[in-house]
A and B are shown apart, each in its own frame.
Chain A
Amino acid sequence: MAKKYGMIHDNNLCIGCQACSIACRSENEIPESVYRLQVWVKEEEYPNGTIGYEYHRQSCVQCENTPCVGVCPTKASHITEEGIVLVDVDLCVGCLYCVAACPYQARYVHPVTKAPDKCTFCHDTRLARGEEPACVTVCPTDALIFGDLNDPKSKINQALSSRVTYREKEKLGTNPKMFIVPNHKGGINS
């Protein structure tokens, strides 16, 4: 069976240090004005009166039911057998339907190619070399877990079976492959 890649972002372990964001920039040569990945840190007041920080990973969530692919008139936006959503620059006509369709605001227009671009789980760089995505390899507190959802023994499946996770905007039915472990301080114990 083909691999199906997914990722977990653990809000408890994330410290908002932006190591992932910089590693992504470095590995994928992202121009300065845009980004594939950032971590947004937000102050939160919890029901028990304490305050803390929530960490939101802002990047492509690699939907299975992909609004961006569905609206693409030229099949430039496509999904690989391994479940990674990519853009073929040569096929792109720059209509930006995909940018508008993405409910996660994950796409940007590359200032040089003028085609939409986004997180690819380091498809062309890291995965091609048999390595994990750059963000995963650098994370100082191991807040990111990457792996094959089709392999029952993979680290990601082990983590998914032992922790409470959710996905952003699940009700849209996009079926993202980016899972989030919520902050324990938010009142959910996993």
Chain B
Amino acid sequence: MTQMLSRRGFLKLSSTAAAVASLSSIPGTLGAMEESQKHYKGNAKFTPSICEMCTSSCTIEARVEDGKGVFIRGNPADKGRGGKVCARGGSGFNQLYDPQRLVHPIMRVGERGEGKWKVVSWDEAYTFIAKKLDEIKQKHGAHTVAFTARSGWNKTWFHNLAQAYGSPNLFGHEATCPLAYDLAMDDIFENGVSRDFAKAKYIINPSHNVFEGIVISYARQYMEALEHGAKVISLDPRLSTMAAKASEWHPIRPGHDLPFVLAFIHTLINENLYNKKFVEKYCEGFDELKASVAEYTPEKMALECDISADTIKRMAREFAKAAPKAIFDFCHRVTLTPQELELRRAIMMCNVLVGAVEQEGGYYLNKGAGFYNKFLGEGDAKAPVLKKPKIPAYPKVEFPRIDRIGEKDSEFFLAKKGNGIVTLIPKATLEDLPGVPYRLHGWFIARNNPVMTQTNTETVIKAIKAMDLVVVMDIQVSDTAWYADIVLPDTTYLERDEEFNAGGGKNPSYDVGRQKVVEPIGESRPGWRVAKELAEKMGLSAYFPYKDIEDYRLQQVGDNIDLLAKLKATGMASFGVPLLLQDKKSVAEFVKKYPSAASKVNEEGTIDFPHKIKLFSPELETVSKKGALSYEPYKYKEADELYFINGKSAVRTNGHNGNNLWLNNLCDDAAVWIHPKTAERLGIKNGDKIEVSNKYATQKGKALVTKGVREDTVFAYFGFGHISKELKRAYGKGVNSNTLYSPLVSPNSGMNLHVVGVKVKKA
């Protein structure tokens, strides 16, 4: 009777299990610290900074209240965000004082993923990493170590370290998030573009769920547009909060946004709804575009996207009529498809065709200092450009990068070095990639969590296990850290100063980066310090020509001390006045402020685009014969399967805040949304335990029966089903979408695929 246990026996067993669980709690966490060592010293005044609870980087300010807690609010000086903060932002305090947070470097003592660690000093940690990196350099070459760091978090420091060490393999997280649209805008506009949602009259939104994957400024702008009576069309396979707020919701077939957009463009061109004057004057490649969409009639594409031809045509007409106050939102994630680059380019071209660019209520080019200054003549002050400390030339590397960015025949040639196709790292570790004469042997990961954020989790873990060295720097034992050799305790965003940032919306802007509100707890150290100290240990200190972050910032602003003071006091600064090149009123205001700009104004009272807008890409044509737009049907699922898609929740985002106490208590499960008819067919009731499976993985979860999803589709929030056992609140709870997704890397953009076929049954 081995299956039977008496109640007493069960209690005995479970108490033993509890004891084991507490013993297995790793050393080096805040919870393991002596009470007497916990001295939280902080600033009682509100300090302006930037949130890090998700990747939106909203402006905040925070103060330590009576030495007991930290209160976080939006920065009231930021008009675009109205001084607001979301639930994730308001929960930052928990991250700081989480007992499960890591505050000492720890080193693996068991097998990878076994969860056995010992605390080491920083010096021991640096010595270990330096020695291992040297061994790999001797044995396989420095180029076989990949360095991944989050943008704006640690990239500056660790990419510097990587190149000083001799590796060209630098990566950010972009290929799992914004890379495709970044590449598309660079190709079409030779510049970044943003959207003026608040003033738009007509917005088409393909799954850009700004009310859940919250960017405060976007959420406010979309709401303002709706309040002003703008028509918002949501194309989304499930009823997101955005879809619920929209004027119309069309549950498009997952992964089939591109056929919709191609039919939309077909209608704009064939019904002469496009702005001929704008296209002739400012664009090139129109004839190629016209030819490329000729076959994509609304009637034909309606069968693909599951939105009727009449509806597509009606929307195209309404969109053209509302132009230039019209936006076809190029979105954030959509349902990432194998033709990401084509999709994002096609969407952007819709706005170009109707001339809704550089106009109020349409797209506008991002105007950082360099771009803005182009329109200023002699005699007027120019926008300040932030400088960088002078770093000596890096050692020359003979080997190509694994993604071969920068080489003419690389399919990913459009990407920038600092982005890198991070999704290729597992492949480059486990198999030979074409044109890459080596495999990867080491991975240095600063605040990135590929085990959680890349698709086909099993392959990512397999690759990590095959490495000679895996270093992770994070504030907790993340899912990736769980498999690392050594984990370095990073500071939270409330404990560190960062470099100043420069950017631009309608005019140049600057921000302070992050500012320290409390002193770092335990032995946690910020990225700038760790990279510099590790470089010193490796004899590479010449590549870090600054004393500390303060010195780095001083070198950034040069003699512009006023800018430095303003950034520190208010968190942000801007230069000049907003400029929309095609808006006469805006141009007049710009010339009034800067008389030297008069020479740039054309006879129509506007300013010409500095580059032609490309409706056909000669570069993509050379590399992949994909200069024109095209649609290649892709089989996401078998006939007896359902589409599986994911999206963001308003209270939990990404791989890193699921273990947060308050957020986890608000939502600790990613239930699987299933349509009532489908549920009935499968014999599933609301709340039933279910099994979601395909050839990649099997996940157990709970069913949420709702009409808010297509009959052929199931949906779950992502960032759930954590794999690290040290994330005690979030471990194993909810369906982990990325385990189910295929390892496909989209051509040209390197993006993951976020649609897959699954079978669902009662567990």
Are B650 and A138 in contact (CB-based, < 8 A)? no
Q: Which of B74, B650, B662 contacts A16 (CB 8 A)?
A: B650
Q: Which of A29, A50, A137, A141 contacts B69 (CB 8 A)?
A: A29
Are B244 and A25 in contact (CB-based, < 8 A)? no
With contacts A18-B666, A25-B662 known, is A137 near B86, CB below 8 A? Answer: no
Are B84 and A140 in contact (CB-based, < 8 A)? yes
For window 35-67 of A, CB contacts with B under 8 Å fall at: 43, 45, 50-53
CB distance from B82 to the nearest CB of A (A): 7
Are A18 and B72 in contact (CB-based, < 8 A)? no
Set of chain A residues within 8 Å of B73, measured between Cβ atoms: 23, 137-138
Are A52 and B214 in contact (CB-based, < 8 A)? no
Are A137 and B223 in contact (CB-based, < 8 A)? no
Tell me if B131 counts as interface (CB < 8 A to partner A): no
CA distance A137 to B85 in the complex (A): 9
Are B71 and A26 in contact (CB-based, < 8 A)? yes
Are B90 and A15 in contact (CB-based, < 8 A)? no
Set of chain B residues within 8 Å of A17, measured between Cβ atoms: 86-87, 211-212, 214, 650-651
Tell me if B502 counts as interface (CB < 8 A to partner A): no
Residue of A29, A43, A138 with most partner-chain B CB within 10 A: A138
Are B84 and A43 in contact (CB-based, < 8 A)? no
Tell me if A84 counts as interface (CB < 8 A to partner B): no
For window 538-591 of B, CB contacts with A under 8 Å fall at: none
With contacts A17-B211, A17-B650 known, is A22 near B244, CB below 8 A? Answer: no
Residue of A17, A50, A52 with most partner-chain B CB within 10 A: A17
CB distance from B701 to the nearest CB of A (A): 19
With contacts A19-B84, A19-B86 known, is A141 near B220, CB below 8 A? Answer: yes
Are A53 and B244 in contact (CB-based, < 8 A)? yes
Are A43 and B650 in contact (CB-based, < 8 A)? no
Tell me if A21 counts as interface (CB < 8 A to partner B): yes
- Determine the main DSSP class of B at the interface with A: mixed
Are A18 and B69 in contact (CB-based, < 8 A)? no
With contacts A18-B651, A26-B69, A50-B249 known, is A13 near B241, CB below 8 A? Answer: no
Tell me if B707 counts as interface (CB < 8 A to partner A): yes
Set of chain A residues within 8 Å of B708, measured between Cβ atoms: 43, 51
Set of chain A residues within 8 Å of B244, measured between Cβ atoms: 51-53, 185
CB distance from A9 to the nearest CB of B (A): 15
Interface size bucket, B side?
A: 35 or more
Tell me if A88 counts as interface (CB < 8 A to partner B): no
CB distance from A28 to the nearest CB of B (A): 11
Q: Which of A21, A29, A137 contacts B87 (CB 8 A)?
A: A21
Are B662 and A51 in contact (CB-based, < 8 A)? no
CA distance A25 to B666 in the complex (A): 12
Tell me if B430 counts as interface (CB < 8 A to partner A): no
Are B87 and A139 in contact (CB-based, < 8 A)? no
Set of chain B residues within 8 Å of A32, measured between Cβ atoms: 661, 665
Set of chain B residues within 8 Å of A21, measured between Cβ atoms: 87, 666
CA distance A17 to B216 in the complex (A): 11
With contacts A15-B211, A15-B245, A17-B212 known, is A140 near B72, CB below 8 A? Answer: no
Q: Which of B91, B219, B227, B665 contacts A15 (CB 8 A)?
A: B219
Set of chain A residues within 8 Å of B227, measured between Cβ atoms: 13
Q: Which residue of A lies closest to B239 (CB)?
A: A51
Tell me if A142 counts as interface (CB < 8 A to partner B): yes
Tell me if A27 counts as interface (CB < 8 A to partner B): yes
CA distance A123 to B369 in the complex (A): 46
CA distance A136 to B83 in the complex (A): 11
For window 67-99 of B, CB contacts with A under 8 Å fall at: 69, 71-74, 82-87, 89-91, 93
Set of chain A residues within 8 Å of B211, measured between Cβ atoms: 15, 17, 141
Q: Which residue of B lies closest to A23 (CB)?
A: B90
Are B87 and A22 in contact (CB-based, < 8 A)? yes
Tell me if B694 counts as interface (CB < 8 A to partner A): no
CA distance A141 to B85 in the complex (A): 10
Tell me if B706 counts as interface (CB < 8 A to partner A): yes
For window 142-177 of A, CB contacts with B under 8 Å fall at: 142
CA distance A69 to B249 in the complex (A): 46
With contacts A16-B241, A21-B87, A137-B73 known, is A26 near B650, CB below 8 A? Answer: no
CA distance A50 to B239 in the complex (A): 11
CA distance A5 to B458 in the complex (A): 56
Are A26 and B93 in contact (CB-based, < 8 A)? yes
Are B707 and A138 in contact (CB-based, < 8 A)? no
CA distance A141 to B227 in the complex (A): 11
Residue of A21, A23, A43, A142 with most partner-chain B CB within 10 A: A23
Residue of B82, B87, B91, B662 with most partner-chain A CB within 10 A: B87
Are B241 and A140 in contact (CB-based, < 8 A)? no
Set of chain B residues within 8 Å of A19, measured between Cβ atoms: 84-87, 89-90
For window 196-217 of B, CB contacts with A under 8 Å fall at: 211-212, 214, 216
CA distance A142 to B83 in the complex (A): 11
CA distance A141 to B707 in the complex (A): 26
Q: Which residue of B lies closest to A24 (CB)?
A: B90
For window 1-23 of A, CB contacts with B under 8 Å fall at: 12-13, 15-19, 21-23
Q: Which residue of A lies closest to B74 (CB)?
A: A138
Are A22 and B91 in contact (CB-based, < 8 A)? yes
With contacts A21-B666, A32-B665, A43-B706 known, is A138 near B212, CB below 8 A? Answer: no
Are A26 and B72 in contact (CB-based, < 8 A)? yes
Are A139 and B84 in contact (CB-based, < 8 A)? yes
Set of chain B residues within 8 Å of A16, measured between Cβ atoms: 241, 650
Are A141 and B666 in contact (CB-based, < 8 A)? no
Residue of A18, A43, A139 with most partner-chain B CB within 10 A: A18
CA distance A25 to B92 in the complex (A): 12
Are A43 and B707 in contact (CB-based, < 8 A)? yes
Q: Which residue of A lies closest to B85 (CB)?
A: A138
For window 26-75 of B, CB contacts with A under 8 Å fall at: 69, 71-74
Set of chain A residues within 8 Å of B74, measured between Cβ atoms: 138
CB distance from B85 to the nearest CB of A (A): 5
With contacts A27-B71, A53-B244 known, is A22 near B84, CB below 8 A? Answer: no
CB distance from A158 to the nearest CB of B (A): 15
With contacts A17-B214, A19-B84, A51-B708 known, is A141 near B71, CB below 8 A? Answer: no
Are A138 and B214 in contact (CB-based, < 8 A)? no
Are A45 and B214 in contact (CB-based, < 8 A)? no
CB distance from B90 to the nearest CB of A (A): 4
Are A13 and B223 in contact (CB-based, < 8 A)? yes
Q: Which residue of A lies closest to B245 (CB)?
A: A15
CB distance from B426 to the nearest CB of A (A): 34
Q: Which residue of B lies closest to A52 (CB)?
A: B244
With contacts A17-B650, A18-B650, A51-B239 known, is A138 near B90, CB below 8 A? Answer: yes
Q: Which residue of A lies closest to B215 (CB)?
A: A140
For window 659-700 of B, CB contacts with A under 8 Å fall at: 661-662, 665-666
With contacts A19-B86, A29-B69, A51-B708 known, is A140 near B220, CB below 8 A? Answer: yes
CA distance A29 to B72 in the complex (A): 13
Q: Which residue of B lies closest to A25 (CB)?
A: B662
Set of chain B residues within 8 Å of A53, measured between Cβ atoms: 239, 241, 244
Set of chain B residues within 8 Å of A185, measured between Cβ atoms: 244
* B-binding residues in A (CB < 8 A): 12-13, 15-19, 21-23, 25-27, 29, 32, 43, 45, 50-53, 137-142, 185
Add 9 more A-B contacts to A17-B212, A26-B71, A141-B211 (CB < 8 A). Answer: A15-B245, A17-B211, A19-B90, A25-B662, A32-B661, A51-B707, A52-B244, A140-B82, A140-B216
A-B complex: 7 closest residue pairs judged by Cβ atoms: A22-B90, A17-B650, A15-B211, A18-B87, A22-B87, A52-B244, A141-B223
A-B contact pairs, 28 of them (CB 8 A): A15-B212, A15-B219, A15-B650, A16-B241, A17-B86, A17-B651, A18-B87, A19-B89, A21-B666, A22-B87, A22-B91, A23-B85, A25-B90, A26-B91, A32-B661, A32-B665, A45-B707, A52-B239, A137-B73, A138-B86, A140-B82, A140-B86, A140-B214, A140-B219, A141-B211, A141-B220, A141-B223, A185-B244
